[in-house]
Amino acid sequence: MGCAADLARTIPMIVATIDHGLRPASAEEAAGVAGLAARLGLTHRILAWTGPKPAARLQEAARAARYRLLAGLARETDADLVLTGHTLDDQAETVLMRLCAGSGPAGLAGMAPSRVLDGLTPDGPTLGRPFLGVPKARLVATCGARGWPFVRDPSNADPRFGRARLRRLMPRLAEEGLTPERLARLAGRLRRDEAALAQAAASALGDLRRPQPGGEGPLTLDGPGLAALPDALALRVVGLAVASLRGEADQGGPRAYPPRLEQLERIVLGELLPALRGGKPCRRTVAGLLLAAGGGRLALSPAPPRRPPATDPA
């Protein structure tokens, strides 16, 4: 916020504090931020996360609520940019968390320096992370030198949360050479490679699409063309095809969960591609979609409803 005050002379700016209501001191801390904003001559808003809180995956739900509230404020005030204070240390912890969760290149690319905030429209407000390459210790030292108070969130050291447990391991990992800087550098490299793979997959998907009679029906891909691609690219093409059909289905019905990478790898690499390459039929269901390989094609369509389990007569 202190750094933002230097820009506020030329750029209209609003400071927002999210009060998640998870700790007794949260309201007082938010008020303290409001006071500092006033001292720096900045407009400030407190946004409260109200309603029941989940018992499981609390930090994930809090993060989703935080970005939802920020996106709402940005739309309300016609702001086109939302800045957060994520640091290089946060990036390193994110990469470690996703590594533990079994993420692929997209997940290990970490947090993007900028992205569309709400993900609903391509012209929505942009989320920017200007300090993503700056160590947290440097920001803390800057606050001390400039006399800006800051609060240490106790949940950052709460062993109930995976991020806090990994944070405690970071000094030990750094002793072996796995420093936050190297983890952040890994994220940058994977983000670069991921962007190239995504572009190649989008181009391949467009080339492999085949028309349907009457212009309607399932999405169909050329089987030999798909089977000739490297596995990494073929996997991404099928993932994009699944995502495109799921996006259309979400608009007219219940939202389905996206397939996990392990599931997609098992079905695409372990079953569909071998079937296409061997000229054998194969039908599998992924994220509410039926993927049918056969006749030189891979067809994707909504999966038929499951039959209810049979019951024995009384």
| CATH number of residue 132's parent domain | 3.40.50.620
- DSSP 3-state assignment of 118? coil
Question: For residue 255, what pLDDT is reported?
Answer: 41
The reply to whether 68 and 122 lie within a common domain is no
Which residue stretches of the chain have pLDDT < 70?
A: 8, 119-122, 213-217, 248-258, 307-314
The pTM (predicted TM-score) of the whole model is: 0.84
Q: For 173-208, what is the HEC assignment?
A: HHHCCCCHHHHHHHHHHHHHHHHHHHHHHHHHHHHH
Q: Is residue 176 part of a domain?
A: yes
Confirm if 61 and 50 have CB atoms less than 8 A apart: no
- DSSP 3-state assignment of 153? coil
Alpha carbon distance 69, 219 (integer Å): 36
Give the model confidence (pLDDT) of 218-265 as tens digits.
899 999 999 999 999 999 999 999 998 887 544 444 344 567 889 999
Q: Is residue 107 part of a domain?
A: yes
The two most distant CA atoms of the chain are separated, in Å, by: 78
Confirm if 61 and 18 have CB atoms less than 8 A apart: no
The reply to whether 108 and 196 lie within a common domain is yes
> Of 79, 108, 141, at which residue does a domain stop?
79
Question: For residue 217, what pLDDT is reported?
Answer: 59
The reply to whether 93 and 149 lie within a common domain is yes
The reply to whether 202 and 296 lie within a common domain is no
Q: Which residue has the tokens 């289905």?
A: 249
The reply to whether 75 and 105 lie within a common domain is no
The reply to whether 95 and 202 lie within a common domain is yes
The reply to whether 203 and 241 lie within a common domain is no
Confirm if 184 and 133 have CB atoms less than 8 A apart: yes
The reply to whether 7 and 64 lie within a common domain is yes
Q: Is residue 108 part of a domain?
A: yes
The reply to whether 288 and 225 lie within a common domain is yes
Closest CA to 148 of 139, 157, 135: 139
Closest CA to 20 of 55, 76, 59: 59
The reply to whether 164 and 92 lie within a common domain is yes
Range of the domain at 64: 1-79
Q: What is the β-pairing status of strands 209-210 and 219-222? A: antiparallel
Confirm if 32 and 149 have CB atoms less than 8 A apart: yes
Question: What b/e readout covers 151-173, taking b as 16+ CB neighbours within 10 angstroms?
Answer: eeeebeeeeeeeebebbeebeeb
Give the model confidence (pLDDT) of 98-114 as tens digits.
999 989 999 999 999 99
> How many domains is the chain built from?
3
Q: For the chain, first and last CA: distance in Å?
A: 69
Measure CA 47 to chain center. 22
